[in-house]
Amino acid sequence: MTPFHLAFPISSIDETRRFYGEVLGCAMGRFTESWIDFDLYGHQMSGHVRADTGASAAGVVDGQSVPIPHFGAVLAMAEGKALAARLEAAEGIDWILKPSVRFEGQPGEQATLFIRDPSGNALEFKGFADLGQVFAT
């Protein structure tokens, strides 16, 4: 797999460092007073301090309203369940959708959850029992 890079707006280096580093468990990379890099499951995420953070619209997936835009990671089911358990045990998580199973019994069945980071960015984490089903139709 080739990692992707995503730059996203943040309101605070310190809050972002705590959330992505301590809550999500991401390794921190380089940083300055205006940006910070993290390793999100092998992908380079760069938070840039901006005044305009957290704006989003909504879409509907499997009957549920989900924020657009959002980003996150596709994980093996065990890793996704472990992350869900860690988030459910953490204090102060801004839940959009608590952990649930989407498309149950259908191609692409997945465990999913949505949260917001301290800057209001929406994140989705998905767990698949079979990663070969990520693009199943």
Q: pLDDT tens digits, the chain, 137 residues: what are they?
A: 799 999 999 999 999 999 999 999 999 999 999 999 999 999 999 999 998 876 678 888 878 888 999 999 999 999 999 999 999 999 999 999 999 999 999 999 999 999 999 999 999 999 999 999 999 88
18 found inside a domain: yes
Amino acid 53: pLDDT: 75
Give me the residue label for tokens 């797999």: 1
- Whether 56 is covered by a domain: the verdict is no
Query: Is 43 found in the same domain as 75?
Result: no
Residue 54 lies in a domain: no
CA nearest neighbour of 133 among 109, 100, 103, 115: 109
d(CA 72, CA 125): 5
Q: Are residues 71 and 45 both part of a single domain?
A: no
Kindly state whether residue 55 falls inside one of the protein's structural domains.
Answer: no
Please indicate, yes or no, if residue 60 is contained in any of the structural domains: no
Q: Starting at the edge strand that comes first in sequence, how are the strands of the sheet with 35-40 ordered? A: 5-10, 43-49, 35-40, 27-31
Number of residues assigned to the chain: 137
Q: Give the domain extent around 11.
A: 5-49
Q: How many domains does the chain have?
A: 2
Torsion, Cα 97 26 16 75, to 10 degrees, reads -20
Residue 82 and residue 121 share a domain = yes
Tens of pLDDT, residues 13-46 = 999 999 999 999 999 999 999 999 999 999 999 9
Do 40 and 92 share a domain, yes or no? no
Q: Are residues 29 and 79 in the same domain?
A: no
Same domain, 76 and 123: yes
